[in-house]
Amino acid sequence: MEWETVIGLEVHAQLLTKSKLFSGSSTQFGAQPNTQACAVDIALPGVLPVMNLEAARMAVKFGLAVGATVNRRSVFARKNYFYPDLPKGYQISQYELPVVQLGRLMIDVDGMKKEIGITRAHLEEDAGKSLHEAFEGLTGIDLNRAGTPLLEIVSEPDMRSAKEAVTYLKKLHVLVRYLGICDGNMQEGSFRCDANVSVRPKGQHAFGTRAELKNINSFRFVEKAIDYEVARQVELIESGGKVVQETRLYDSQSNETRSMRSKEEAHDYRYFPDPDLLPLELDEQFIKEAALGLPELPDAKRERFVREYGLSAYDAEVLTGSREMADYYEAAAAMVPGQAKLAANWIIGDLSGYLNRDSLGIGDAPVTSAMLAGLVCRIADSTISGKIAKDVFDAMWNGEGDADAVIGKKGLRQITDESAIERIIDEVMARNPKQLEQYRSGQDKLFGFFVGQVMKATQGKANPAQVNESLRKKLGDKPA
């Protein structure tokens, strides 16, 4: 039987506010345990939540960016469950009336465009962290994260393969960073993903029973976890079994998912409106201001790059992968009129390679956009060849100054003087009479040998096109 996979994703994006959703504690990552957990966060008796305006603005920005309905009135609810890292005994979330509803995101998989529905996005507070390993028979609780604002973004079950799911997730990841509402750091848990996965016989309308996969904290794991889970469900059904609705934990070490049975009974959360919090009301002015604060979004930027700079869809996609990268490119491209494509190649190629090698973000690149533009100019005006440019780039990366300084200091200026090149060719011919004779007697492939010798004699500085042309002339060929 042929099976169809059905996937919906729930993403928790930690909002980039300075303070918590309902208290004035800092949200800075990495502080000493419990030093950023105030009376509200640790739920001392009598405390009351006061909501952060910036968190509301960020949720609205997201809603506008995915073409969703931004509800003028939304309601906070208590989600009740007991766990030591949730000191109140409930999480403040939104249930029946979330702030954002019915949006969409376009994805592109293997050249096919597909719209993925976003059911809702709601504001909620994060829980603390439990540390199980350090203490014998005890669990340590750090409440620094408790109360940190999250935007939970729930998709429709619109994805049909792990690849579509990863593409959607990456797109969402780029979007929240563009909007400046989330840093997207998956290692630190600022961008987390749960996947609802089910299978059904191809052509069947009703959904199969789904499993919820938790703990998938990288793009690669999302794909692997879903693939594993789909195979597990198909195998189970084909051997006469039944999928049960449950939460499953993905273990990246063994690449499998396993049941978390104890989570099941907790599913009765007994939501009710939080009496401590009045409805969140957003007026037109607030929403209009949020709309004005939206940056150019990734799709629009990508299309503009293709149109304005004549880039391929692929190049534009890579360069608009983050706002910082796109800004870097635009700054460089503006300084090298007519060489936008060459600038793009250098950023996608060498610059990205060096950034990866040194684990740096583009904002920390030792080669600034102005320095890269300087290098591109020198290639474009034939001062140096593309090959020498790589050495210049390396020197710039190592702090030896801008392109002109490096070229001057190291004497890398390309030899374009025709008589100088011809003189070197004469010397090379004189030094290699045997090869010359062989070439002239018909061994064409020795042409490359002469090119190599000339380049060697000039330490790579001769203009390759000119060397070719002059060599053909000298060796007695017609110009190619």
Site of interaction with another protein (CB under 8 A): 17-19, 23-26, 32-39, 42, 44, 50-56, 73, 75, 80, 82-84, 97, 130-132, 134-135, 137-143, 260-262, 268, 270, 273, 275, 277-281
Give me the sheet containing 272-273, strands edge to edge.
90-94, 76-80, 272-273
Smallest separation (angstroms) from another protein to the CB of 74:
9
Cβ contacts of 383 within 8 Å, gap of 6 or more: 407, 413, 414
Q: Are 407 and 393 in contact (CB under 8 A)?
A: no
Q: Which two tokens stand for residue 198?
A: 């089910």
Smaller CB distance to another protein: residue 49 or 208? 49
Task: Name residue 101's beta-bridge partners.
Answer: 69, 120
Smaller CB distance to another protein: residue 144 or 167? 144
Smallest separation (angstroms) from another protein to the CB of 14:
14
Which parts of 177-336 are beta strand (E)?
191-201, 211-216, 246-251, 256-259, 272-273, 280-281
CB neighbours of residue 334 within 10 Å: 12
Smaller CB distance to another protein: residue 280 or 371? 280
Give the side-chain half-sphere CA count within 13 A for 52: 24
Whole-Å CA distances, 299 to 20, 175, 313, 333:
31, 9, 11, 19
Smaller CB distance to another protein: residue 105 or 143? 143
Smallest separation (angstroms) from another protein to the CB of 277:
6
Smallest separation (angstroms) from another protein to the CB of 38:
4
Pick the closest to residue 119 from 165, 161, 157 (CA basis).
157
Q: Are 168 and 193 in contact (CB under 8 A)?
A: no
Smaller CB distance to another protein: residue 46 or 411? 46
Smaller CB distance to another protein: residue 31 or 234? 31
Pick the closest to residue 331 from 292, 295, 294, 367 (CA basis).
367
Eight-class DSSP state of 312: -
Q: Are 93 and 269 in contact (CB under 8 A)?
A: no
Smaller CB distance to another protein: residue 215 or 352? 215
Smallest separation (angstroms) from another protein to the CB of 26:
5
Distance CA 43, CA 146 (A): 10
Smaller CB distance to another protein: residue 53 or 430? 53
The amino acid at 192: R
